[in-house]
């Protein structure tokens, strides 16, 4: 994969480049400010990019703005936002166009390199990668009228992992369940939530998130 890494702290940027290259991917450009990020995204159209929310010149949400602006120009451009903190507000903004290919993770998710690179690849494929903290908040703050209270504990766990962007196989591995058990759970869950399932992972995740996003 060809990547752009946008992060203003030198040590972190270099560390991330090293990690990504250790997994055999290519970093085509790095950026340290919001405008630089937008410029690099326009020029390279990377398969996926890793972007920090807060960057110079204003030390506000320059990175997120650059990512949103780039996606407005180039719909579906895969971006993975990596931040010191996760905010539902930002996650909703990223998901709002519903076209997939977005991720929003805490910086410490790079600690588990395998999972981090997995998330990057998922986003590059047009899937989603959401931090469990965001998903937990999305699930807990959605009002009970949406049918969530009818889910069993297991179904809830499956939904949360699904919302993070994991495939059925991956969910099965995490919960120590067989694939067929997972598809049984997802089918009953979709029934309770009233979502039409078409066996497409990305659309499935987007459906879940869009459902949770409803005002």
Partner 1 sequence: MRQLGIWAERVGVGFVRSCVVAVVTMLAPAVWAVAVAWAIWWGPGNPWSWLGPFVLVCVGTLALSRPVCRLARSLVARWTGTLIVAGYREAGPVVRMSTGYWWNGFSYERSRRDAVLDQKWRVRWKDPAVWRDVRFTGIVPFAAGVVASVPPAGIVAAVLGLGRPGPDARLAGVLGLAVAIATAPYAWRLLVPVAVRFLRPSRAMAMTERVEELTAQRADTTVAQAAEIRRIERDLHDGAQARLVMLGLALATAEKLMETDPDQAKALMREARGGAAASLAELRELVKGISPPVLNERGLVDAVRALALDIPLDVAVSADAGLRLDPPIEAAVYFGVAELLTNAVKHAQASRAGISLARDDAGLIVEVEDDGRGGANVRAGGGLAGLRRRLAVFDGTLEITSPPGGPTRVRMALPCDSL
CB 104 within 8 A of CB 134: yes
CB 12 within 8 A of CB 24: no
For position 106 contacting partner 1 by CB under 8 A, the verdict is yes
Helix residue spans in 45-178 (DSSP H): 62-73, 88-95, 113-124, 132-141, 153-164, 168-175
For position 143 contacting partner 1 by CB under 8 A, the verdict is yes
For position 39 contacting partner 1 by CB under 8 A, the verdict is no
Comparing CB distances to partner 1, the nearer of 3 and 209 is: 209
For position 42 contacting partner 1 by CB under 8 A, the verdict is no
For position 87 contacting partner 1 by CB under 8 A, the verdict is yes
For position 96 contacting partner 1 by CB under 8 A, the verdict is no
Q: Which of 112, 149, 179, 200 is close enough to bind partner 1 by CB under 8 A? A: 112
Token pair in block for residue 102: 């977005």
Q: Closest Cα partner for 55 from 73, 72, 44, 40?
A: 40
Residue numbers of the site for partner 1 (CB under 8 A)? 53-54, 59-61, 84-85, 87-90, 92, 106-108, 111-112, 137, 140-141, 143
């Amino acid at each position: 994969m060809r990547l752009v890494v946008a992060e203003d702290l030198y040590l972190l940027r270099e560390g991330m480049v090293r990690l990504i290259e250790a997994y055999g991917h290519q970093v085509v450009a790095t950026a340290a400010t919001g405008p630089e990020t937008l410029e690099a995204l326009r020029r390279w159209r990377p398969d996926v990019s890793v972007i920090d929310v807060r960057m110079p010149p204003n030390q506000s949400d320059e990175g997120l703005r650059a990512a949103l602006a780039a996606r407005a120009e180039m719909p579906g451009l895969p971006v993975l936002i990596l931040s010191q903190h996760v905010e539902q507000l930002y996650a909703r903004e990223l998901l709002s166009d519903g076209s997939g290919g977005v991720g929003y993770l805490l910086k410490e998710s790079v600690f588990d390199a395998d999972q981090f690179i997995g998330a990057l690849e998922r986003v590059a494929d047009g899937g989603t990668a959401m931090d469990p903290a965001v998903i937990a908040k999305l699930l807990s703050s959605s009002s009970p009228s949406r049918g969530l209270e009818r889910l069993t504990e297991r179904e809830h766990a499956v939904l949360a992992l699904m919302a993070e962007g994991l495939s059925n196989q991956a969910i099965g591995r995490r919960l120590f369940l067989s694939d067929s058990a997972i598809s049984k759970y997802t089918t009953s869950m979709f029934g309770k939530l009233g979502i039409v399932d078409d066996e497409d992972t990305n659309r499935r995740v987007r459906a879940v998130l869009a459902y949770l996003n409803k005002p």
